Amino acid sequence: MSHEHTHAAVIGGGSWGTALAHLMAIAGVKVKLWMRSDERVAEINTSHTNSRYLRDRPIHPGVEATTDLRSTASFAETLIVAIPSSEFRSVAFEIGGCVSGDQILVSATKGFEAEHLTRMSQILREETCCRKVGAISGPNLADEVMDHHPTATVVASPMEEVVEKVGLLLAGPTLRVYGNHDLVGVEVMGALKNIVAIAAGVCAGMGYGQNSLALLLTRGLSEISRFGEALGADRMTALGLAGLGDLIATCASPLSRNNSLGRKLAAGMTLADAQADTVKVAEGVNTTYAANKHASRLGVDMPITRAVNAILFEGHKPAEMLVKLMARANRYEHNDVPIDAPRSVEGSVIDTALSVAARNRGW
């Protein structure tokens, strides 16, 4: 499909925003990339690189960087917003002043607003008049995307129009697109997997091998999918590209910023030092705080998140938290009931009598 008359914009010139603009330009879409820094705008428009985030990787010359939000917003039919979650709302508010109801707004940020656990697409809804909103998520490490390694992403929206239009903008020889109507699930999984990624980084940093990583990933997936369900997500989404897919990529790759943050913590760095050590924002830090804050309200037990939260914000040592996690009661895999918990008495009268008798004998 020809995209020569299609106009799109990416709001946010970090590594993932730049990579998305680059992908669309390759497909023939006219793309504007909005960012605040004049210096970086000049660099992208003249030398076609974004050295701060993507080192010397060449960016397609069709990408036009700009600092003018109003002209960017009115230029594009579709806007992809890739701004760190902490600044997402203020930028969305600015976007809200320049868009109309026919435009499509899609979030490419994986995170929550901690106070009310607000998802990024909800912020787009709240701060703008746009209703054609969605999210992009999946195993998409920006560096690998820029290097054209084959991968896939999920475009999620309750509206088919959004899935179709955004899907066609992004799909190319190295990127497959899958659609999903479960916007809640895709966003929640994309955000929460960063918690597990930090834990995986800690685990690797402590020198543990694949068994430990597999344990962490599986139980991590289990707790984040329970959390997702409590928020209304579809359990199947947790097993898709935006859930398991992204989890594998982030936990296995040292390129992941959350993973590398975990490694630094394991090496004894404080959170402040680890964050100061990189220019990229590790969204998992904010997400851990948000998820931990809301887990009990939602009635979801999240031991790994609690442990990561304790390491990040309460000054606990990784080794200490690991001992705690391993000392937890052994449980049934699917319902989390401790294997030595007293059984509830059920069944026929005779079954009940026998069970009670056995219990009285110490069984």
Partner 1 sequence: MQNALRDAAIVEVRSRVLEACLMQSQLPDGMPLDVLVNDTLYHERKRLEVDRKSTTWAEDLSFWDTIKNRLGRASDNEIKDILKSVLERFTEEIRGNFNPVLYNIATRVLPRALPMLLNAMSPKRLLQRGLPDISDTVRIQGNIQAIKRMNELGTVILTPTHVSNLDSPVIGWAIYAMGLPAFTYGAGLNLFSNPVMSLFMRNLGAYRVDRNKTAPLYKDVLKEYATVSLELGQPNLFFPAGTRVRSGKVEQRLKLGLLSSGLRAYVNNLLKKKDKPNLYIVPCTLNYHLVLEAETLIEDYLQREGKARYIILDDESTRARKILNFTQNLVNLEARITVHIGDPIDPFGNQVDPQTGASIDRHGREIDIQRYVTDRQGVPVHLPQRDRVYTAEAGESIAREFLKHNVIVSTQLVAFTLWEMLRHRHRELDMYRLIRTGDEGAGTSANILVERVLRVWQALKARDVKGELHLEEGVVQSGDAAAIVQTALRHFGTYHAKPVLARRGDRVFSEDMKLLFYYSNRLRGYGLEKELESVLKEVS
State the catalytic residues: 193
Does 93 bind partner 1 (CB under 8 A)? Our answer is yes
Whole-angstrom distance, CA of residue 271 vs CA of residue 94 = 31
Interface map 131-160 toward partner 1 (x if CB under 8 A): xx-------------------------xxx
Which residues, 188 to 207, sit near partner 1 by CB under 8 A? none
Q: Say how far apart CA 150 and CA 174 lie, in whole Å.
A: 4
| Residue (38 or 160) nearer to partner 1, CB | 160
Instruction: Report the side by side order of strands in the sheet with 175-180.
Output: 63-66, 30-34, 7-11, 78-81, 104-107, 132-137, 151-156, 175-180
| Minimum distance, C-beta of residue 117 to partner 1, in the bound complex (Å) | 14
CB of 308 to partner 1, least distance (A): 25
Q: Which is nearer to partner 1, 158 or 172 (CB)?
A: 158
CB of 97 to partner 1, least distance (A): 7
Q: How many of the chain's residues bind partner 1 (CB under 8 A)?
A: 18
Distance from the first to the final alpha carbon of the chain: 69
Q: What is the largest CA-CA distance in the chain?
A: 84
Q: Does 126 bind partner 1 (CB under 8 A)?
A: yes
Residue 286 interacts with partner 1 (CB under 8 A): yes or no: no
Q: How far is the CB of 96 from partner 1 (least distance, A)?
A: 7
Smallest gap from residue 77 Cβ to partner 1 (A): 8
HSE, CB side, 13 Å, CA atoms: give it for residue 318: 22
The 3-state DSSP class for residue 133 equals strand
Q: Residue 99: what residue type?
A: V
Q: Are strands 118-119 and 112-113 parallel, antiparallel or unpaired?
A: antiparallel
Chosen residue from 97, 150, 268, 347 binding partner 1 by CB under 8 A:
97
Choose the binding region for partner 1 from 83-91, 125-133, 138-146, 230-238 (rule: CB under 8 A): 125-133
Using the rule CB under 8 A, is 96 a contact of partner 1?
yes
Which run of H or E residues covers position 153? strand 151-156
Integer Cα distance of 227 and 213 in angstroms: 21
Closest CB to partner 1 among residues 5, 361:
5
Report the C-alpha gap between 9 and 34 in whole angstroms.
Answer: 7
Binding site for partner 1 (CB under 8 A): 77, 93, 96-97, 100-102, 126-129, 131-132, 158-161, 297
